[in-house]
Amino acid sequence: MTSSTSPTRKLFIKTYGCQMNVYDSERMAEALAPSGYEIADSAEGADLILLNTCHIREKAAEKVYSELGRLKALKAENPDLKIGVAGCVAQAEGDEILRRQPLVDLVVGPQSYHRLPELEARARQGAKALDTDFPEEDKFDRLGGRARARRGPTAFLTVQEGCDKFCAFCVVPYTRGAEVSRPAEKVLAEARDLVERGVREITLLGQNVNAYHGAGTDGDWGLARLIRELAAIDGLDRLRYTTSHPNDMEDDLIAAHGEVPELMPYLHLPVQSGSDRVLKAMNRKHTAESYLRLIDRIRAARPDILMSGDFIVGFPGETEADFEDTLALVREVGYGQCYSFKYSPRPGTPAAERAHVAEEVKAERLARLQALLAEQQEDAQQAMVGKSVGVLFEKAGRMPGQLVGKSDHLQAVHVEAPETLLGRIARVDITAAAPNSLAGRLSAK
Ligand code: 5AD
Ligand code: SF4
């Protein structure tokens, strides 16, 4: 069946959470295109609404149920409207969603998106459709090639999914399953296709992306080899990857940061805590010291790399002294940009069963940590003033005549520049810094 034989129907996807969900939403839209669906910008007037959910944050399931409640009015207006829940909440809650919210027609877990057309057809016939399997077949194979439309200059590309690490606080190993890497040839083909369609920068995605081990043309390839091969694609100017575990930062990957010019000087490497006691309780399998020495090695390979990370405060058992170890680690690393969270229990994870730190203590620690991280971010932004950086222009700025792009270090940069530079990289001299963006002018040469 092709879209030319089906009436056009409108699909609205609301995406929550991480970049992998952004990527998955694009692929779901592509999977449903042959069923006659076109993407719509709003839920009003849609024939199918999918909530692509995230389970990492607190009360994720409750938030999905209240969002579903808000869709009730739309279903009353249009009885043909079908509503689906995808993503990690779908995986975690399963048929509980269908039981609790009769509004929902289909539930699909992250490993089953290639089965969406089938599920949608079943829902259209009035059945409730559920698929939260971890199927043997490769969903990316079945999702097929991406539609060949021209697109913006940056793209995400999932190369690995799932996680075998089982950090004591985290639902990912349960919702996304065991680590699976896509074959290198598939990744390269998808990257070439993206580049032909205008993409200049690709961010490789995986829950544990630096654990990538995919089948290559001459045996197993790690992430470093994959990056080197991707960098050789003509027109692919920038590569990034996220997110990584310290224990999978192998020597050849560290070396690639010094040797592959396309690999951008920004690395998100979560440590979660600076206390060895807490790291052990989190089942992180590394120490604060081993993380610090790892960063030394990364910086030896790429001195200007901007470090990013994730932190959890108030993990069960965390004392004031443990928290101060986290502050000390942050001071020693000097981050450019970080994410930090209060610990919140996820049902089914080991830490959820433990005695919790009081809410006020968590809030107070988070505020202290965030103040320090904000200071470091400002320092990193200020340090860019007077430097010349590469900027990939992505869109028009708020001011007329202005474009906005991202620096090599992933900072937003506002520049007066002609529209012809959209989708292209230019050298920019940074003239001013704000906490979340930079301003600059095009370099003379
Ligand atoms: N509570 C708080 N933060 C969490 N994260 C993951 N699980 C939890 C939890 N239960 C954070 C971690 C992780 C990021 C994606 O979300 O810092 O690196
Ligand atoms: Fe979760 Fe990351 Fe730990 Fe895996 S490595 S369990 S995704 S926090």
**Six-digit token string for 297:** 């090695």
Q: Could you tell me where the DSSP H helices lie in 33-127? A: 60-70, 72-77, 87-93, 95-100, 116-124
DSSP at 272: B
Q: Is the pLDDT of residue 432 over 60?
A: yes
Distance CA 146, CA 163 (A): 26
Confidence at 211, pLDDT banded by 50, 70, 90: very high
pLDDT of residue 434: 96
Most ligand 1 atoms within 8 A of CB, residue of 163, 170, 286 to mutate: 170
User: What is the bridge-based pairing of β-strands 438-442 and 425-433?
Assistant: antiparallel
Cα 164 to ligand 2 centre (Å): 8
Confidence at 150, pLDDT banded by 50, 70, 90: confident
Ligand 1 touching residue 169 (CB < 6 A): yes
Summarize the confidence of residues 103-122 as an average pLDDT: 93
pLDDT of residue 103: 93
Ligand (nearest to CA of 59): 1
Cα 313 to ligand 1 centre (Å): 10
Strand partners, 393: 405
pLDDT of residue 148: 65
Ligand 1 touching residue 19 (CB < 6 A): no
Q: Is the pLDDT of residue 142 over 70?
A: no
- Cβ neighbours for 427, distance < 8 A, ≥ 6 positions apart: 388, 389, 390, 391, 442, 443, 445
**Six-digit token string for 284:** 């992180």
Q: Give the closest residue (by CA) to ligand 1 atom 12.
A: 310
Q: Give the closest residue (by CA) to ligand 1 atom 17.
A: 310
Mean per-residue pLDDT of the chain? 93
Most ligand 1 atoms within 8 A of CB, residue of 282, 310, 349, 370 to mutate: 310
DSSP line for 145-206: SPP-----SEEEEE-EE--S---TT--HHHHT-S-EE--HHHHHHHHHHHHHTT--EEEEE-
Q: Give the closest residue (by CA) to ligand 1 atom 16.
A: 56
pLDDT of residue 3: 41
Ligand 2 touching residue 170 (CB < 6 A): yes
pLDDT of residue 332: 98
Summarize the confidence of residues 424-431 as an average pLDDT: 98
Distance CA 125, CA 142 (A): 23
Task: Kindly give the number of the ligand 1 atom that is closest to the alpha carbon of 171.
Answer: 7
pLDDT digits (tens, 9 = 90+) for 344-375: 999 899 999 999 999 999 999 999 999 999 99
Q: Is the pLDDT of residue 127 over 60?
A: yes
**How many C-beta neighbours within 10 Å does residue 163 have?**
23
Q: Is the pLDDT of residue 4 over 70?
A: no
pLDDT of residue 162: 94
pLDDT digits (tens, 9 = 90+) for 16-74: 988 889 889 999 998 999 899 999 999 999 999 999 999 887 778 889 999 999 999 99
Q: What percentage of the chain exceeds 70 in pLDDT? A: 96
Q: Left (φ > 0), alpha (ψ -120 to 50) or beta: where does 350 sit? A: alpha
Ligand (nearest to CA of 211): 2
Q: Is the pLDDT of residue 139 over 80?
A: no
User: What is the bridge-based pairing of β-strands 306-313 and 337-342?
Assistant: parallel
Cα 279 to ligand 1 centre (Å): 13
pLDDT digits (tens, 9 = 90+) for 257-309: 999 999 999 999 999 999 999 999 999 999 999 999 999 999 999 999 999 99
pLDDT digits (tens, 9 = 90+) for 61-84: 889 999 999 999 999 999 899 999
User: What is the bridge-based pairing of β-strands 37-39 and 438-442?
Assistant: unpaired
Cα 229 to ligand 2 centre (Å): 27
- Cβ neighbours for 43, distance < 8 A, ≥ 6 positions apart: 12, 14, 49, 71, 74
Sign of CA dihedral 13, 14, 16, 19: positive
pLDDT of residue 191: 97
pLDDT of residue 159: 97
pLDDT digits (tens, 9 = 90+) for 212-239: 999 999 999 999 999 999 999 999 999 9
Ligand 1 touching residue 270 (CB < 6 A): yes
Cα 341 to ligand 1 centre (Å): 7
Summarize the confidence of residues 372-400 as an average pLDDT: 97
